[in-house]
């Protein structure tokens, strides 16, 4: 099996934690980024002691660019074993009644259409190899909905369904697809929300709704991703692993 991983959104809070975790387990990690080349470069230097780390620019809005980035990396590295999708829009938390068409288009275009483009570019590679897996970072909000999270939850529901469709249709070619659904995580967008979005009292109420009584870390999400990407999960496909400390129970 090709021991190369590609992480879309590798410059983000969750994506960078995933790259750090995969670096210990995979030979090569492609750190996909859109705008933060400096972040991707610094991360490549940091994890470079554990794997070959390569920053790869990949804008999900550019269909041709997605194909070029993924096919180019696969050719140079000698295949792709796991494609991790952790890219997402930096949203606010408006209620549905306040969301206009432009905001809907942005999340659907970047997240759902972006994932569709990544799948389109990656499936031929996995088919040729007769092996490979997708792991997508989605959200617990598509399972237990916290008001204000529609811009995140709606495209994630589509990504999850596409993951299940891939699992069912492509399994006969040795291809798996799974999802990790984080709850409230103190990394990336979640860390910004924890700092700026609501008062301390509101976050304390939210924390008390979590069975484990604490917010998660980026590495706790990354560990679930690494497991699903690994050979240990070789008989698991089409599944969503919720990593939320029991928030959605
Ligand atoms: N953090 C949480 O608590 C949490 C919880 C549940 C679900 N999630 C979901 O997990 C995903 C990642 O979240 P995060 O917290 O890591 O967010 P983040 O820190 O804001 O990172 C977002 C990542 O997506 C990339 N990106 C944005 N637009 C892109 C585009 N058009 N093309 C390619 N890449 C693009 C960014 O690249 P650049 O920075 O290089 O532009 C960055 O690497 C999101 O979908 C989010 O909704 C997060």
Q: How far is the CA of 172 from the centre of ligand 1 (A)?
A: 31
pLDDT attached to residue 2: 80
Query: Facing residues of 156 across strands?
Result: none
Q: Which atom of ligand 1 is nearest to the CA of 90?
A: 20
Alpha-carbon radius of gyration of the chain = 17
Q: Is the CB of 190 under 6 A from ligand 1?
A: yes
Q: Which atom of ligand 1 is nearest to the CA of 39?
A: 40
Cα(115)–Cα(111) distance, rounded to whole angstroms? 6
Q: Is the CB of 225 under 6 A from ligand 1?
A: no
Q: How far is the CA of 215 from the centre of ligand 1 (A)?
A: 18
Cα(135)–Cα(147) distance, rounded to whole angstroms? 26
Q: Which two tokens stand for residue 206?
A: 């939210």
Q: How far is the CA of 159 from the centre of ligand 1 (A)?
A: 14
Pocket test for ligand 1, best of 59, 189, 194, 245 (most atoms within 8 A of CB): 189
Q: Under CATH, what is the fold of the domain 4-243?
A: Rossmann fold (3.40.50)
Q: Is the CB of 60 under 6 A from ligand 1?
A: yes
Q: What pTM was estimated for this model as a whole? A: 0.98
Q: What are phi and psi of 134, to 5 degrees?
A: -105, 140
Cα(11)–Cα(44) distance, rounded to whole angstroms? 10
Cβ neighbours for 46, distance < 8 A, ≥ 6 positions apart: 20
Per-residue pLDDT for the chain (249 aa), expressed as one digit of tens each? 589 999 999 999 999 999 999 999 999 999 999 999 999 999 999 999 999 999 999 999 999 999 999 999 999 999 999 999 999 999 999 999 999 999 999 999 999 999 999 999 999 999 999 999 999 999 999 999 999 999 999 999 999 999 999 999 999 999 999 999 999 999 999 999 999 988 999 999 999 999 999 999 999 999 999 999 999 999 999 999 999 999 999
Q: Which two tokens stand for residue 249?
A: 């129970």
Distance of CA 217 to the CA centre of its chain: 15
CA–CA distance from 91 to each of 72, 95, 111, 141, 192 (Å)?
30, 12, 12, 14, 11
pLDDT attached to residue 1: 59
Give me the residue spans of the domains in the chain: 4-243
Determine the 3-state secondary structure of 202 from DSSP.
helix
Q: Is the CB of 189 under 6 A from ligand 1?
A: yes
Q: Which atom of ligand 1 is nearest to the CA of 15?
A: 16
Region for residue 86 given its phi and psi (left: phi exceeds 0; alpha: psi -120 to 50; beta: otherwise): alpha
Distance of CA 131 to the CA centre of its chain: 20
């Amino acid at each position: 099996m090709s021991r190369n991983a590609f992480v879309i959104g590798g410059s983000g809070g969750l994506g960078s934690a995933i790259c750090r975790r995969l670096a210990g387990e995979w030979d090569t990690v492609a750190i996909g980024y859109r705008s933060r080349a400096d972040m991707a470069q610094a991360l490549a230097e940091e994890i470079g002691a554990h794997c070959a780390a390569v920053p790869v620019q990949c804008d999900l809005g550019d269909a041709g660019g997605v194909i070029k980035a993924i096919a180019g990396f696969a050719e140079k590295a000698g295949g792709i074993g796991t494609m991790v999708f952790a890219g997402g829009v930096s949203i606010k938390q408006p209620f549905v009644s306040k969301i206009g068409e432009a905001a809907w288009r942005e999340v659907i275009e970047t997240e759902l259409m972006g994932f569709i483009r990544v799948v389109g570019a990656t499936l031929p590679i996995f088919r040729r190899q007769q092996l490979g897996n997708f792991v997508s970072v989605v959200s617990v909000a598509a399972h237990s909905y916290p008001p204000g999270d529609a811009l995140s939850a709606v495209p994630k529901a589509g990504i999850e369904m596409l993951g299940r469709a891939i699992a069912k249709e492509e399994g006969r070619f040795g291809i798996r697809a799974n999802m990790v659904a984080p709850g409230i995580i103190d990394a990336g967008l979640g860390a910004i929300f924890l700092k700026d979005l609501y008062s301390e009292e509101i976050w304390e109420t939210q924390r008390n709704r979590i069975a484990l009584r604490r917010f998660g870390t980026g590495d706790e999400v990354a560990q679930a991703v690494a497991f699903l990407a690994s050979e240990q999960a070789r008989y698991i496909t089409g599944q969503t692993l919720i990593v939320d400390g029991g928030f959605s129970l």
